Structure formats: C-alpha cells, structure tokens
Structure 1
Amino acid sequence: MAAIEKLLNVALPPLSFLLLSTFMLPFLLFKILLYVRKLVAHTEENLEHKVVLITGAASGIGEQLAYAYARRGALLSLVDIRKNKLVAVADKAKSLGSPDVTIISADVSKLQDCHRFVDHTVNHFGRLDCLVNNAGIARTSRFKDWNNNGSEFTSIMDVNFWGSVYGSLCAIPHLKSSKGRIIVISSTLGWFPIPNSSIYNASKAALINYFETLRMELGKAIGITIVTPGLVKTDLGFATTHKAKFMGIIPMLSASELAESIVKSACRGDMYLTEPSWVKILFPWKVLFPQVVDWAVRFFFGLPSKGNNSRNKVHSATELKPE
C-alpha cells in the first residue's frame, strides 16, 4: 500500500495537469456554444401559476425574490419568523402580478415548523414547484471575542444550515412530483472566507457541500441551483463592509438585481450562480495560491503576522476549553 501511495503522489499531479490542459479548451468551447444557443433560443421557463416557496421573505434578498417571481406570475408562499412584515411584502407581490400569495410565520431551524410551512403550501396550492432556501442570519465576531462555550453562535448554524436542510427534506417528495427545483442562497464566503465571520462562513460552506451531495444523490429528479453572492446591499452586507475600511470601495450588488439574476439562472437550469460574476476570479487564487490569499487577507484586514500571533493563539485556545 505504501508503494501505491508513493506512486500516486508522484504520478497523479503531472497526469492531472496534462488531462486538465487537454480538457480545458474543448470544455470552454462547449460552454461558449451552450451560451450562444441560449442567447439565440432566448427561451425562459414559464413561471405563470408555478408555486414558489421562499423562506426569509420579509426583507433583503428574500423580499426581492418574491417580487421577481411575482412579476412572472408565480404563486407565492412566503415564510419568515416576522409575519407582520410579510403582510406588506405579500400585498406588493400581488400588485406586481402574483395571482395568489400565502404567508406563514415559521422558524426554519425547527423541523416541525418546516413540515408545517411545506404542508400549508401544498394544501393551499395543491403542488410545489420551487423551494428557495434563503433564510439566514449572521453575527460578526473574531475568535478572541467568543465566550467559553460559543452557544451564542449556534443559532447561525441552526438557521443557515439546518433551516435549509430541514426545509428541503420536507419539500423533496413534492418537488419530485413536479420535477421542481431547489434554490439555496449560500455565499462567496462559503469558499472564500474572510475574518470576523467564522461561523457564518462555515455555515455557508456547509450549505454548498450538502447541496452538491444532494444533487448527486437526486440525479435529475430535482434541479438544484446553488447561489454564492458577493457583497449585497442588505443589512448583512453593510455590516461586513464596516468591519474593514477597504471593503467600502468594493461595489455592492443591489438585492433586486441579484434576485432577477437568481430567477433567470434557475429558469436556465444552472447548477451554480455567482454574482457579481467578477468574484469568480477569486476561486482559482484560493485554490492555486492559498499562501498569497492568506497574506493578502491578513494585510487588508490589519491582522498580525502568524509569528506575532502565535502566543495569542495558545492563550485563546486555552480560554475556550470547557470548564
């Protein structure tokens, strides 16, 4: 076994590089042809009277998604823990063209609530065509600011990760019947993390991993579109820019622009959507030059060098040990 491992360590890197070099050009040409075909055909899924369930629909990206789907004549089921704010969103969605909107107060981190809002939607409309897992929360904090048990951060994972998992598991039987789609709102921070948001970053990375796995297991039964936005003009986006002065110069996408892109991408059947598209250039840097990325992030966020911070790391780790 040791000899096989050594052989793989020596042979696989150059072989993989050769295969990637050979495969890249034909694949890019294939992608270009598909893009041109979409432009020429200019076909978009007809969403009239399709049933779309959106979590976290009371504000931000979820609210704008409700309006984007409403303009296309979709039937809407809007879910949020803040039901009083859903009323105004539902009224506007109807005025924009949605034939019918139902609103549900629910906590996505509770499995029984997820069963309830999915059942309510199907009972009300008779079907479910699309589930948009948008509900999410965040808290910005550095490692050194944690308390001894970190319990104040568990809600981030409960809502951001388990909320999407629970809702999807409840919706899958209905989405299989309609050959529907799941849209999950992750984040660029799921694959390009920045300081001050470790648990939020982790929850978004978990979303990407889970739904990529789910896509493999489901095959073509249900489409899955994973969305990884950059900075968006929402409360969370503004909170992120305030943590580092240099981030204030980065262009932010409006929630309404993002919502339109998400709906169009889902209608095309895309596996992934990253907006704004220039953010994609960060991915190869992260994969190929992790040391450079680590240094650059530390520099721009004003973090100490690794050598100067080693004593603080030991001290912080000791503080976090359970009593």
Structure 2
Amino acid sequence: MAYQYAKRGASLVIVDKNAHHLPKVAETARGLGSPDIIQVCADVSILEDCKRFIDEAVKHFGQLDHLVNNAGISSVCPIENITDVTNFPRVMDVNFWGLVYPTHFAIPHLKKSKGKILAISSVAALMHPPTLGFYSASKSAVKTFFETLRSELAPSITVTIATLGFIDSNMTRQEHLSKVVFRLVPVMSSRRAAEALVDGIRRGERYVTEPKWYKALFMVEALCPQVMDWCYGRILFPQLKHALDEASISTSQTKAD
C-alpha cells in the first residue's frame, strides 16, 4: 500500500509495531516517488499509540488526507481444538479496535481536508469459512462499524471498505494455510491488490472486493447458502483441519527435538 501511494507522489506516514521494518519500506517508497516520509513505531491495539501517530502526522505535514487502516492478524483454529478461549482477544484488539482507535483520532483532521478512510475487512466477513471463526468475527465487526461510520461522516469524509480474499502475503503464507490455500484457491498478488485498493479509495468507492470473482461467491452465499455449507464441510474444512493437525504434529516434534 505504501509503495502504491508513493508511485502516485503521496507523502507518507508509515506505522509498524516492529521498528526494524520501517527504514527499508521508507527507502523503497522514496525511490518510487514519495517526496516526504515519516516513520512511526506504534501498536494499533494501544489507544495512546494511535493518538501519537495521528498527532505526529498532522504536526509534520499540517494536514491528513487519507487514513489507511491496514493492520491485521489471522487466527486459524477449529473451535473444538481450543483449550483456552481467553487466548483470542488480541484478534479483536488488532483487527477491530486497531482500526477504530486511529479512525477516532483522525476524523477531525479528515473533516478539514474532506479526506478518505480505507478499512480493510475480508470476504470472511460475508462468507464465514471454517476454522476462521474469530478472524471472521473481527472482520464482520469492521465491515459493520465502518458502514455505520460512512453514514455519519458523509459527505465530508469518504469511507471505503475493502473485502479481500486470499492475497499473497505473510498471512496466507503461514505454513498450515499455504498448504491448502495455494492448492485450492487462486491467490492474488499483493501488488495488484494494493493497486486496486489505492485506485478505489482515490475514486471514493464504497467497496473494493479483490479478487473480483469473490463477488460471484457472495451471490451464492446470499441466494443458496447450502451450497457453500457443502463446499466448506466436504472440501475446505477437512483439508484445513488436516493441515492444522500436521502443523501441530510438526511443532510438537520440533519442541521435542
């Protein structure tokens, strides 16, 4: 996302909770055309961190035009395999509150610039695939919250919601996911997805769905959910469960070694 904005000449505030990631991204973005970049180490699940990086952006540039809520983590686990359900609040802390917090602090500045907000949700918010219960719940919360916000902030701020499928990223390249995903489902490159997202937010689109063929599955889910239930139960869930079981065995063996 940062690189696509850089190619269009945008000045950037890039935020990551791992400080060592930032210099390389900043250097590449400058090479692609960004005239000015500030780097902020922050955790979006911490309210004070979110206020700080919004304040730093406005202090440095004097304004804020776009807010890209791109932080997220995955959670892949059948509910019956969970031994401690209290281990999962961080999924909601990052995927939901990690978008709400910066948005809250950015709104006054975006109103002044008639700016734009991008919220990254997921096709999982609409299709509810197995083993992704907590992840799907967090992305459903994102979709619902920002749909509500769109009505409240119009016309001064434009809100674009991204419903993304499987994108070639660190998230989908987790061993247990990649064994199934890359075999069963076409995976979109992160560059192409980012291009579509940046173009969509600049045009002020209400939704951006990538890859676009997921829209056909949305129709199937809405009109004939039994078909999706059959596909999940007979095809996707058995393969995901097998991959997760294999990953668990591999981890156990490594720890034993």
Give your verdict on TM over 0.5.
Answer: yes
Relative to structure 1, the CA distance from residue 96 to residue 190 in structure 2 (aligned partners, 3 Å threshold; closer, same or farther) is same
Q: 1:185-217: per-residue Cα shift (whole Å, max 9, x none)?
A: 111111111111110111011100000000011
Question: What is the letter of the counterpart of residue 109 of structure 2?
Answer: H
Question: What is the letter of the counterpart of residue 108 of structure 1?
Answer: V
1:163 aligns with 2:98: yes
Asked if the contact 2:7–2:32 (Cα under 8 Å) also holds between the matched residues in 1, the reply is yes
1:127 aligns with 2:63: yes
Asked if the contact 1:244–1:301 (Cα under 8 Å) also holds between the matched residues in 2, the reply is no
**1:290 Cα deviation (Å)?**
1.5
% of aligned pairs identical? 44
Q: TM-score, normalised by structure 2?
A: 0.89
**1:142 Cα deviation (Å)?**
0.8
Query: Could you tell me which residue of structure 2 aligns to residue 195 of structure 1?
Result: 130
State the SS of the aligned residue for 2:174: helix
**Whole-Å Cα distance in 2 between the matches of residues 270 and 223 of structure 1?**
8
The counterpart of 1:104, out of the listed 26, 33, 40, is 40
The counterpart of 2:195, out of the listed 260, 264, 286, is 260
Q: 1:80-104: per-residue Cα shift (whole Å, max 9, x none)?
A: 1011111100011111110100010
Where in structure 2 are there 5+ consecutive unaligned residues? 239-257
Asked if the contact 2:130–2:237 (Cα under 8 Å) also holds between the matched residues in 1, the reply is no
Question: What is the letter of the counterpart of residue 41 of structure 2?
Answer: S
Asked if the contact 1:68–1:260 (Cα under 8 Å) also holds between the matched residues in 2, the reply is yes
**Whole-Å Cα distance in 1 between the matches of residues 19 and 237 of structure 2?**
41
Task: List structure 1 segments (4+ residues) > 4 angstroms apart after TM superposition.
Answer: none
**Whole-Å Cα distance in 2 between the matches of residues 298 and 112 of structure 1?**
43
Query: Could you tell me which residue of structure 1 aligns to residue 114 of structure 2?
Result: 179
Question: What is the letter of the counterpart of residue 187 of structure 1?
Answer: S
**1:174 Cα deviation (Å)?**
0.2
Question: What is the letter of the counterpart of residue 232 of structure 2?
Answer: V
**Whole-Å Cα distance in 1 between the matches of residues 182 and 56 of structure 2?**
42
**1:249 Cα deviation (Å)?**
3.4
Larger radius of gyration: 1
Q: TM-score, normalised by structure 1?
A: 0.71
**1:269 Cα deviation (Å)?**
1.1
Relative to structure 1, the CA distance from residue 125 to residue 187 in structure 2 (aligned partners, 3 Å threshold; closer, same or farther) is same
Relative to structure 1, the CA distance from residue 272 to residue 248 in structure 2 (aligned partners, 3 Å threshold; closer, same or farther) is same
Query: Could you tell me which residue of structure 2 aligns to residue 288 of structure 1?
Result: 223
Asked if the contact 1:142–1:197 (Cα under 8 Å) also holds between the matched residues in 2, the reply is yes
**1:251 Cα deviation (Å)?**
1.3
Q: 1:70-89: per-residue Cα shift (whole Å, max 9, x none)?
A: 01110000001011111100
**1:147 Cα deviation (Å)?**
2.2
RMSD of aligned Cα (Å): 1.5
**Whole-Å Cα distance in 1 between the matches of residues 109 and 103 of structure 2?**
10
The counterpart of 2:76, out of the listed 140, 160, 167, is 140
**1:222 Cα deviation (Å)?**
0.3
**Whole-Å Cα distance in 1 between the matches of residues 45 and 237 of structure 2?**
35
Q: How does 1:1-323 map to 2 (within 5 A)?
A: 65-148=1-84, 150-239=85-174, 242=177, 245=180, 248-303=183-238
Q: 1:217-238: per-residue Cα shift (whole Å, max 9, x none)?
A: 1121100110111111012123
Asked if the contact 1:135–1:163 (Cα under 8 Å) also holds between the matched residues in 2, the reply is yes
**Whole-Å Cα distance in 1 between the matches of residues 18 and 176 of structure 2?**
26
Q: 1:110-148: per-residue Cα shift (whole Å, max 9, x none)?
A: 111110000000001100000000001112111012124
Where in structure 1 are there 5+ consecutive unaligned residues? 1-64, 304-323
Relative to structure 1, the CA distance from residue 302 to residue 211 in structure 2 (aligned partners, 3 Å threshold; closer, same or farther) is closer
Asked if the contact 2:172–2:181 (Cα under 8 Å) also holds between the matched residues in 1, the reply is no
**Whole-Å Cα distance in 2 between the matches of residues 276 and 301 of structure 1?**
19
